[in-house]
Structure formats: structure tokens, C-alpha cells
Structure 1
């Protein structure tokens, strides 16, 4: 059950991260990363690894986008 919740949080975060790749919307990653961290924490408590891994992927994507946009763009 926790893995399913983590996967849902990860999918929502991933969709939001895709929109944050639009120029001048990179600041949205500052709101996406805590959500993905929450999902990764819930996924760490679950038996399965899928939800945790999905959220870790979203975190990496968000951090790379923040680095490319210098934290603002």
C-alpha cells in the first residue's frame, strides 16, 4: 500500500517536473522536490522499491534542472 502511494506521488511529481522544463518555469522545481522527497520517504518504508526509485529519479531530474537554470530559471 505504501509503495502504491509513493508511486502516485512520484507520478504527480514527474508530470509537474515535465512542465517545469518549460523556460522560465524552473522555479517550480523548488515545490516539486519536497513532494518527491516525501514520496521517496514513503517509498523507503514500503516493501517494494519501485515508488522510491521513481521519486529518486524525479529528484535527480529536478536537481539537474535547477543546476541548469541556476536555481531560478
Structure 2
């Protein structure tokens, strides 16, 4: 199985400058992006180590990551 790194800078390279600027100037954006990065690392860690986790928990984590990404994307496009 291929494990994708869904870091914001990888998924939205066209917004790299905005990501850096918002992380410096917007505490809420920084917290959301930190939460997103942390959750993405947890998900990738489980995938890489093939750690047993129930499907519901794993799917909930992925849904939360998608929700955070959508929120961050909206903030990036409005910046």
C-alpha cells in the first residue's frame, strides 16, 4: 500500500506562501494546521506500521482530517 503524505504544503503547493504567512499571523489558522498535521502523522503512522485499529476509528480519523483540510483550504483561498 502506498502511504501518502497529506501535508498542506504537499497538497496545496500553490498556496505555500499563504500557508507560511497565515501560520505567522493567524493563531487560529496555526492551531488548525497543527491539528491537521498531527492527525495526518498519526494516520500515516498507523498505515506504515500496519497497526491494528478498528475501521470505525480509522475512518473517523480520516474524516476529521478531511474536515480540517476543507476548513484550511477555505481559509487559504480567502486570504
Q: Relative contact order (C-alpha < 8 Å, sep 6+): which is higher? A: 1
- Structure of higher CA gyration radius: 2
TM-score by length of 1: 0.50
